[in-house]
Structure 1
Amino acid sequence: MKKTSLITCAFVLLTTACTTPTAPLNTKAPRYPYIGLEKTAPEPTDFNFATNRRNISLELPEEAQEELPLFDHAIEYCKAAQSFWEKGDMDGALSSLDEAYGLILKVDTGNDPLLLQQKEDLRFTISRRILEIYTSRTTTTSFTRNAIPITINQQVQREIDIFTKKDRRFFAESLKRSGQYRPMMVKKLQEAGLPVELSWLPLVESGFKVKALSSARALGLWQFVPSTGYMYGLKRTTFVDERLDPEKSTDAAIAYLDRLHKLFGDWSTVLAAYNCGEGRVLKIIRRQNLNYLDNFWDLYSRLPSETARYVPKFIATIHIVNNLEKYGFHTVTPNTPPTFDTVTVKKQVKLADVAKAIGAPYATLKRLNPELRYGILPKESYSLRVPVGKSKATLTAMSSLRVSLPPQRAFVYHKVRPGDTLSTLAKRYGTSVKAISRANGLSNRHVIVAGKKIKIPQRGYTTKGYYANTAIPNAKRPTRHVVRKGESLWLIARKYGTTPTALKETNRLSSNTLTVGQVIKLPSPASPKARRAKKSVYYVKRGDNPFTIATKHNISVARLLDLNNLTSGSTIYPGQRLYID
């Protein structure tokens, strides 16, 4: 029989089997085709084909097997696949197609364009058939996708040992915190048709700490970085960061996981992509020798070390929570989910003022609304969570509450100069190496590069060459200032006890950009007595320090020191009167 006739037979054989009956749901999954072959990705796998490959015997004479060209061998495997399929043997059918695909890839078409086209057509047809069989038996009658496979191998066992021994306390505390959020997560996952086991992913991501922050600036229960959070609808403004909202971040995580699943089809690979990014996983997949591959464990050795541990950690978590008594965690009592009412408000007020007005603990309101970055409600419409029964009181109180100023900036930017180090910058700005490192995601030993801009937590600075926190006394105050290299409106305003806005208005500036040598007019200040008359008074309590006081009143430390003619080295004492914005 000619090659073209054989290939035509194979096409007929494969395409006539495209309408597949509902397959048994307890069969195990094969490899899935390389994602570049089809736009529609396969459904999830729960089978490691690499360790379960079947030995297919076609019962051909040994001489014939040696003489048959690769095309003929591949077609015989296709016939065997159809036979297995008709008998309901899913693994046999998929294993045969797997062998056929590998043989087709080995065919040398030379310079024969017709043979090349036939090779590609057959390769595509086989991959399509694999997808059809695979998809038909990985969806239940209710269209709920299969649960995540639990494979206890050496890597997973190592993570089980760590969680139950070295990190036992972390696991127990995370398990306890999970009770606050998992009921909500499970409900949302069920509604989306995703495995409910994914509700345990935050244990690996954040330990179920709603304000967990990673060195990569990933934040919240589901650890979204700002860019990915934005892609999935999580807002980040001056007032709110929705990565901290348990419900909204869960919705975003479900949307992201669902998209990854449609792309990769294998839940373990999906989790790897969730951790290190889909782009990195796709690069690894594209480097494979074959155009399709097995699941996560075939990628394991090629993944970043953190991700290579990430999936085993998650599987270990699922195994442990399914066997709590075996590992001694059955005595841990999960926290109960919070109960609350939701009211829609539209006024920029302090959360602390709301708490006081409705007679609720401030800590309770903060816990119910963790996405509020500085404890100030935005002026736009906002859904505020309040204790049950406090809705009416909240709406009544809003009209009488004083409008709050927007939050003060928590840091300034510094352009690194030759000779700068984290230590010298920390001393210059009156902060710490740890604080600067944390703000920029650096290690304490990190070398900073001249010319780069880094964030400096705003806590005041007094070192020679930089301006003190205290404004220049009025008697000595000049009316103009010549801009020097490295100065900004913010630095000049701090030096003269005014604000960047006042400087811009006085000089009719349209932007914050200044040039060296530019002459800036300084606004006339009000007397200290007049300025202080507009401020609130706070009496220092035992245990207070400038940072805790400034944080409590949503102003910067520098502003607090400036209002009270203090420096970063000044001592405050219980009973001392301080002025607050």
Structure 2
Amino acid sequence: MPLKASGALAALIASTTLLFTGCATQAPSRAPVQETVRPSNTTATPADTAPAVETDDVEIEDDLDEDGDDDLELAGASTTNWPDPQTDLWSQIRDGFELDGYGKRYRVRRWTQQFATHQHDLQASLDRAQPFLWHIVQRIDERGLPTELALLPIVESGYDPSARSYMGASGLWQFMPGTADHMGLSRDWWYDGRNDVIASTDAALSYLDDLHRRYGGDWLLALAAYNAGPGRVDAALARAQREDPDASYWDLELPLETTEYVPKLLALRRIMFAPERFGFEWPTLDNTPRTRAVELPSQTEVAVAARMLNMSEQDLRRLNPALQRWASAPGSGATLLVPAGKADAFKKALANASPNALVQRSTHTYTVRRGDVLGSIAARYNMSVAALRQANHLRGDRIRVGQKLTVPRAGEPGKPAPVAEPAETYIVQNGDSLWEIAQRYNVDVTAMRSSNPGVSASLRPGQKLTIPGSASPPAPSTHIVRNGDSLWEIADANDVTVADLRRWNRLEPNTRLQPGQSIAVDGPAPLPDFYEVETGDSLWSIAARFSMQVTTLRSLNDMSSGSTIRPGQRLRLQPMSSS
């Protein structure tokens, strides 16, 4: 029978966007990590529509909300002939269930129907799990944990190791950066351990095990704390136990996401217990590894490894989304997850390959010389300053003569950087602007800013500015915006902050990125020749954005003091070049 549209159900359905989000993986109180409930990737569970109908005649009432499960009832009604757990991985998971089913709880039964309705989404998650599931089940079994935990990545990420939430959680287990750091998942320019299936699984299971002990063996509280953070669960439990010393997870007042999080997992367990009752055909999966981890002897380019494995680079990256760049990090110790049938041959090929053969853009050691700056070295090797800084674990741009730098993608160096003429000092006069001074000395505003850290658009008379030599600064590396890109993602990928990107690209807080737009990612973008006026712009705001005086802007565009501007108008920012 259909689910009755009671008041409680109406409230649940009205909250559908939040209901179908996953985990806020937060660190326990042993580390000072901020605890916030944060939705994870929305592919974890299907989009909410009308409630599903169970295939039997069980009517779900609002008042059917009590402890206890219906496992025996489900088992008695089950007609599924499950394979031997020794030969089938899903059977091993089902055979290792330890949690109470709580099938008489209203939210569990409702989520059972939701998953049963959206079978395509559930099946997609099970398909994505295939390359990774054996590794996860093995680790759960080694720790003696409930095998229901192997279903948790369905709730978290839809078993997508590259999943990323809009709040910054990432990976199968949707770790936030702070919790990842606390649990020992390394993150740098080359690698993000949150997207490493094996490393993140080890971290997630350790965290869940810690929480399980923290709450005296109560898995429901541990799971709630994995989602909301233990501080929030502790506070909710304390409030509930003041009213009833025997209060349990079901009595806690928690954020809606967490209220639905645990029932989602229990609903998946319920469907797996008797899938045919809910009209679902659970797949079989050989209980053998589909992928194997192979240690790399040295830095290895992903494209080179893909050729050695006779597979596409795209497919190899799908198995290894932790690799953030074109290659593994310099040095040895990194691992690649590869198809199990190709692992042995790949190991032999790696053993017979020289380090130079594994990286076409081989690493190179550069000795800093007098007059070098990171920008000139990066330009010489056609790479970004951010990449050079990250490869050498530099927090800033300070380098010294004789210092050895690792250039992570050096081949033959390009043309030497132009030698700059000696810098000189300029005393700001009344009415000067940074733009006018740059034009006067035939240097770029970007170079002026680099030579005068902290300088603002408003100069004061008497202020001393360093005029850089005639050599043009290296052009900043850029990112071409694609559909779905955000400033946060671009900043995270280039190891800079969103504030840096806004400042370098002169972006207002409400600026929308457009596909095809070029974003400077390691230094100020060059001053454009033209600017297209947007709604809300004024001559003053445009002049301030580009470090020039309003009078200069008017002069460049032959505008009188009474002239107005309109959205869509193109304003010249650079003088016309003389031919």
Larger radius of gyration: 1
Higher relative contact order (Cα pairs below 8 Å, separated by 6+ residues): 2
